[in-house]
Amino acid sequence: MAVTSTTHATAILERDRELAALAAVVDSARAGRGALAWVEGPPGIGKTRLLDAARSRARAAGDTVLAARGGRLERDFAFGVVRGLVEPLLVGAADDLLAGAARLSAPAVAPGRADSGDHDTASTLHGIYWLVANLAERGPVLLVVDDAHVADASSLRALAYVARRVAELPVAIVLAAQSPVDHVEPAVVDALRDAATVLLPAPLSPGAVGELVDARLGPSPAAFASACHEATGGNPLLVAALLDAVLEAGTGPRSESVAELAPGVVAAFVARRLRETGADAAAVADAVAVLGGSAELRHVVAVSGLDAERVARAAETLVAARLLAPGRPLMFGHSLVEQAVTDRIGPAERHRAHRRAAAALADEEASAELVATHLLRTEALGDPTVVAGLREAGRVALAKGAPETACLYLRRAVAEPPPVPERAAVLHELGTATARVSYREGVELLEEAFAVAAHPIRRGLIALELARALSVTLAFDRALHVLDEAAAGLDDGELARELAAASVSLARRDPARRAAAAELTRTLRRDGRLPPQGGPALLAFAALDALQTGDPAAPDLAREALATTLRAYAPDPGVVLPATMVLVAIDHLDPVRACAEGMLASARRRGSTYDFVSASVLRAQTRYLAGDLTEAEADARLADGLAAEHEVHAARRYTVAWLVLVLVERGRADEASAVLDSSGVQGDLAYLLAARGRLRLALGRHEEAVADFLTCGERLAHRGIHHPGLLPWQVGVASALHALGREEEAVDAADQAVRAGREFAAPRALALALLTRGLVGGTVEPLREAVTLLGPTPARLELARTHVELGASLRRANQRVAARAELAVGQDLAARCGADGLVERARQELHAAGARPRRVAVTGVGALTAGERRVAELAADGLSNREVAQALFVTTKTVETHLGHVYRKLGVTGRDELATRL
C-alpha cells in the first residue's frame, strides 16, 4: 500500500494547476516578492505530495528549505512548529541569525540562548519575523508546514505575522491543512488563508484512477477502475489502499470484490497488518502513536517496555509492512494510519503509556513542555510529581510569551488536583497566566486563589496580582478591599509596604479615600521606607499631591519617581503617567522627553511593542507641547499604527487622542476625523475627550465640543486633578460657547480659566486662558500679557497662536502696521511648528491687513511626511536600514521606500548627506 508519501513510485496525476500555483509562489519568493500558499483538503487527497513537489522545486533552485509539521501532541507545545522549522539552523553558531531584533525569538526557538526576563507575545512574534528576515539575507527561503490544522496556535500566529510582511522578503510559505479545518484559533487560520493562494486539490477523475489501477495491477477492465473510483471517491490514498487490499486478497481486478474490500479500507488494512506482524510490532506501533506519530527509538523503548533490540526489529517489520516510513525518527507513513493505530488503543493503556513517556522524557531532562504534553494526557490521579511537571512547563511557556499554553498546563495541574497545601499556589499561577489572556477570567481564578490561600505571604502576593487585574477591569473598590484584607494579616515588612503602595495608587481614584491615601504616602515617605516596587508610584502620587497644593517640591518628586522607575528592567506606566502629568502641567518638558527616550530604549531592548507605543505617545505629547508638530505627528502615527496592529486597546485611546490633536493643529481636521471614526475608539478618557473637543471645535460642531470639554473637566475633577496645566478644557468650553454666540457664558468660562491659571501660577495655562479671554471679550490687553507669559515657556505653538490672534485683534482695531508685525512673527513661528492651519490663518489676516500675501514655501525638510522624517533621522544617526526597521518595528522595505522619498525631496544622494540637511 502506497500509504507512505516519502517515496513516489507513481507520477502525480491531475495536479497541473496546483503545481503551477506552487511553482509561482516559490519563484515569486526567489524574485524577492514573498508569497504564501495554503493547501487544504481531506486526508489522503494529496496535500503532502504537493508540499513535497514545492520542496523539490525550491531545493533544486538552491533555496533554503525548512519544513515542519503539526502534530496532535505538538499542538500543546508553544512555538513547537516554528522551533521545528528553525532548529536545523541553530545547531551551530547562529549569531548572525539571532542578531538584532531576532534575538527576541530566542526564548521561543532557542531557549538555551535566551536572555532572562519576561517576554510578551508581540515581542516574540517580532523576533521570529526578524529571524526569518535574517535568514533571507543569505538567499531565498521556503518554509513548509504540513498538517497546520494541528500546529500549535503560537506558531500559526507567528507565521501569520511573518505572512503579513512576507511580500518584502524572498520567502515563500507553503502550508497544508486537513479539511474541515478545526483549529483552536480559527482567527489565525483565517488570517493565513486570507493571505494565501488557496489550493483545494480535487478528487482524481475516473480516468486518473484507471491509470493508478493499471500501474498497480496491470491493464485492468474499465468496469473495475470505475468501481474503484466510485468506492474511493477519487481519493488517491484510498485508491492505493484499496488496490493493496485487492492484491492481498488475490481476487484480481474483479468489480465485485471492490464492494467487499472497500469499507474502512485503511483501518482494516492496519488491523490486518498488525495481526500479521505480531505483538512486538503492535506494541511499537502503539508507542509511536502515543508519542505523537513521530518518535525517537529510545522513547519507544521506554513506552513499549521492550528493549532496544526488539524495538528496532519490530520497527523494521513495520516498515516492511508499510505502516511506518523508513528511517529515524520512527514515523507513520500517513496520518490515516496513525489515526487507525491510535483508535485501537484503549483509554487506560493510553494513559499509562503517556505516563511512561512523560517519565522517560523527564529522566533525560527533556524540555518541561515536552514532558507536559504527555502529562496533559494522563489520567488525573492527584500525583504531586505531575503537578510539579505541569507547573514547570507553565513557567516556561509564560516566559516564552505563550500565556495560553501556560494556562493549558496549569488548568490541568489544578485538575490533577495538587496536594491541598499547594492548591493556592497553583491557582495563583493559573490566575496570573490567565490574566495575561483575559483579565476578567484571571480575576475569577485569582479570587479563588485568594479565597483558599492560608499563608499571609501567599495571600499578599496573590492580592497584588488580583488588585492589578481588578483595576484593569475597573473594579477599584474590590481591589482596595483585597489589598486591605491581605495587609491585615501581615506584619510590617517589604510585602506589607508593597500592598500599601498599591492601595495608595488605587485610593487616589476614590474621592472619599484620597485624603487618607495622601496621608499614607506622606507617612511612608517620612519614614523613608518606600517599597522597591511600589515606591516610585508613591513618589509620583506625592508629586501629584504637591502639584495640587502648590508645594514647590512637585517637580523634584516627579523627577525622582521617573529616575527610579527608569532604572528598573521595565519602567512602570503607573509611575510614568502621573509623574509626567505633573511635569507637563508645569512645562518641565525636558525630563519628560528624557523619560520618553529612556522608555523607548528600554522597549527596544526588550522588544516590547506595548511599551514602545506608550513611550512614543509620551514623546508625541512633549513634541506637541513644544510646538514640534511634524515630529509629534511622526511619533503619534507610528504609535497608533502599532497599537492598531497589535490590538493594544488600552494604549490605542492615547495614540488616537494625540494623533487627532496633532492633525487638527496641522490643519487637517478632516483627516483627524477619519482617524477617530475608523479607530472605533471610545470612552471617557480625559485626553480623548479633550482631543475630540478640539476636533469638533475645528469642524464647527460647537455644541458637541462644549459637551466634550465639560465631560473632560468632570473626569479630571473626579480623579482629583484641578491643575489647569494638564488639559485646556476650560478654554475649550469658553471658545466653543463664544462660537455659539453664548457670550455671557463664554466670558464666565474664560474668567474661570484665568482665575485657575493665576491660582496655580501656571504660565502656559494662564496664557491660554488670557488669550481666550481676550478673544471672547474682544480686548487686546490680555493677549499682550499672554505673549509675555509664553516667552520663557517651551510652548512655541501657543506663542505662535497668540501672536496671530493678537495681530488679528489689532487688525480689527484698525492698527494695521502693528497688526502686520504680530502676524508676520506668528506666521513664521507657526510655519516652524508645522502648524499649517495657523499659517494659513495668518496669511489671510495679513492679506486683510494690507500686506502683500506671502506664502510660506514648503520645501526641504518641511516637505517630509512624518514617517519619512522619523526614518531620515535615524538613518542620519548612522543606523542601517535594517537597524532603522528594527528600531521602529517596521519592515526594511518600508524604510527603503521612505528613504527614497526623503532623498528625492531633499535632493540628496546618500545617507551621509542627510545629517547636514535635517
Task: Answer with the entry of Mg ion, ligand ADP, none that 2 interacts with (C-beta below 5 to 8 A by kind).
Answer: ligand ADP
User: Toward Mg ion, which CB reaches closer, 237 or 499?
Assistant: 237
Least CB distance from residue 10 to ligand ADP, whole Å?
Answer: 5
- Residue 591: name its binding partner from ligand ADP, Mg ion, none (Cβ under 5 to 8 Å by kind): none
Residue nearest ligand ADP, Cβ-based: 46
Which among ligand ADP, Mg ion, none contacts residue 342 (Cβ within 5 to 8 A by kind)? none
Nearer to Mg ion, 71 or 535 (CB): 71
State the nearest-atom distance from the C-beta of 175 to ligand ADP, in Å. 12
Instruction: Give the Cα-Cα-Cα angle 495, 500, 503 (nearest 5 degrees).
Output: 125
d(CA 918, CA 915): 6
In sequence order, the 6+-apart residues with CB closer than 8 A to the CB of 373 are 73, 74, 76, 77, 292
Element (H, E) at 577: helix 573-585
In the complex with ligand ADP, which residue's Cβ is closer, 58 or 133?
58
In the complex, minimum distance from the CB of residue 48 to ligand ADP, in angstroms, rounded to a whole number: 3
Mask for 16-55, x = binds ligand ADP (CB under 6 A): -------------------------x-xxxxxxx------
Q: What's the min distance (Å) between Cβ of 481 and ligand ADP? A: 57
In the complex, least distance from residue 418 CB atom to Mg ion, rounded to whole angstroms: 39
* Minimum gap (Å) between residue 67 Cβ and Mg ion: 12
| CB half-sphere exposure, 133, CA atoms < 13 A | 29
Q: How far apart are CA 52 and CA 6, in angstroms?
A: 8
Which residues sit opposite 41 in a β-bridge? 178
Residue 351's contacts (CB-CB under 8 Å, 6 or more residues apart) are 377, 378, 379
Task: Give the binding range for ligand ADP (CB under 6 A) out of 4-12, 93-101, 397-405, 816-824.
Answer: 4-12
- Contact between 68 and ligand ADP by CB under 6 A: the answer reads no
- Distance between CA atoms of 796 and 784, rounded to whole angstroms? 16
The nearer residue to ligand ADP, 69 or 509, going by C-beta atoms, is 69
The C-alpha atoms of residue 566 and residue 594 are separated, in whole angstroms, by 10
Judge whether 877 and 888 are in contact, CB under 8 Å.
no
As measured in angstroms, the least distance from the Cβ of 199 to ligand ADP is 11
Residues in a beta bridge with 198: 38
The one of ligand ADP, Mg ion, none whose footprint includes residue 495, by CB under 5 to 8 A per kind, is none
Can you tell me which residue has the cell 539571532? 98
Strand order in the sheet with 324-325: 294-295, 330-332, 324-325
Which of the ranges 43-51, 253-261, 360-368, 903-911 carries the binding residues for Mg ion, by CB under 5 A? 43-51
Amino acid code (one letter) for 681: V
Question: Toward ligand ADP, which CB reaches closer, 4 or 679?
Answer: 4
DSSP assignment of 347-364, as one string? HHHHHHHHHHHHHHHHHT
Rounded CA-CA distance 308/829 in Å is 83
Q: Is residue 711 within 8 Å of residue 684, measured between CB atoms?
A: yes
Helix (H) or strand (E) holding 457: helix 456-472
Q: What is the DSSP string of 148-197?
A: GGGS-HHHHHHHHHHHHHGGGTTEEEEEEEESSP--S-HHHHHHHHHHSE
Is the Cβ of residue 10 or residue 549 nearer to Mg ion in the bound state?
Answer: 10
Cβ proximity to ligand ADP: between 45 and 479 the closer is 45
12 makes contact with ligand ADP (CB under 6 A): yes
* Under rule CB under 6 A, residue 70 binds ligand ADP: no
**Of 161, 186, 192, which is closest to residue 38 (Cα–Cα)?**
192
Which position among 237, 504, 544, 736 is part of the footprint of ligand ADP (CB under 6 A)?
A: 237
User: Taking CB under 6 A as the rule, does residue 13 contact ligand ADP?
Assistant: yes
State which of positions 300-359 bind ligand ADP (CB under 6 A): 334
Number of residues that bind ligand ADP (CB under 6 A): 20
Near ligand ADP by CB under 6 A: residue from 160, 199, 231, 240 = 240
Q: How far is the CB of 9 from ligand ADP (least distance, A)?
A: 8
Distances (CA, A) of 280 to 273, 283, 575: 13, 5, 65
Give the nearer residue to ligand ADP in terms of CB position, either 189 or 750. 189
Please select the residue that binds Mg ion; options are 48, 432, 673, 730, rule is CB under 5 A: 48
Are 92 and 130 a contacting pair, CB within 8 Å?
A: no
Cis amide leading into 180 (omega within 30)? yes
Residue number, 338 or 498, with CB nearest to Mg ion: 338
Q: Does residue 503 touch Mg ion according to CB under 5 A?
A: no
Please report how close the Cβ of residue 44 comes to ligand ADP at its closest, in angstroms: 5
Closest to ligand ADP by CB, 135 vs 325, is 325
- The answer to the question of residue 229 lying near ligand ADP (CB under 6 A) is no
Nearer to Mg ion, 48 or 503 (CB): 48
235: contact with Mg ion by CB under 5 A: no
Other C-beta atoms lying within 10 Å of the C-beta of residue 408 = 24
Among 2, 53, 376, 470, binds ligand ADP (CB under 6 A): 2
CA 157 – CA 185 distance, rounded (Å): 9
* Residue 5 half-sphere exposure toward CB, CA atoms < 13 A: 19
Is residue 491 helix, strand or coil?
A: coil
Residue (53 or 835) nearer to ligand ADP, CB: 53
**What's the helix, strand, coil split of the chain in %, to 5?**
70, 5, 25
* Residue 166 C-beta: closest distance to ligand ADP, Å: 23
For the chain, state the CA radius of gyration: 34
Cell of 442: 484571571
- Please identify, using beta-carbon distances, which residue of 264 and 791 lies nearer to ligand ADP: 264
Applying CB under 5 A, which residues contact Mg ion? Answer: 47-48
Q: Which residues bind ligand ADP (CB under 6 A)?
A: 2, 5, 8, 10, 12-15, 41, 43-49, 236-237, 240, 334
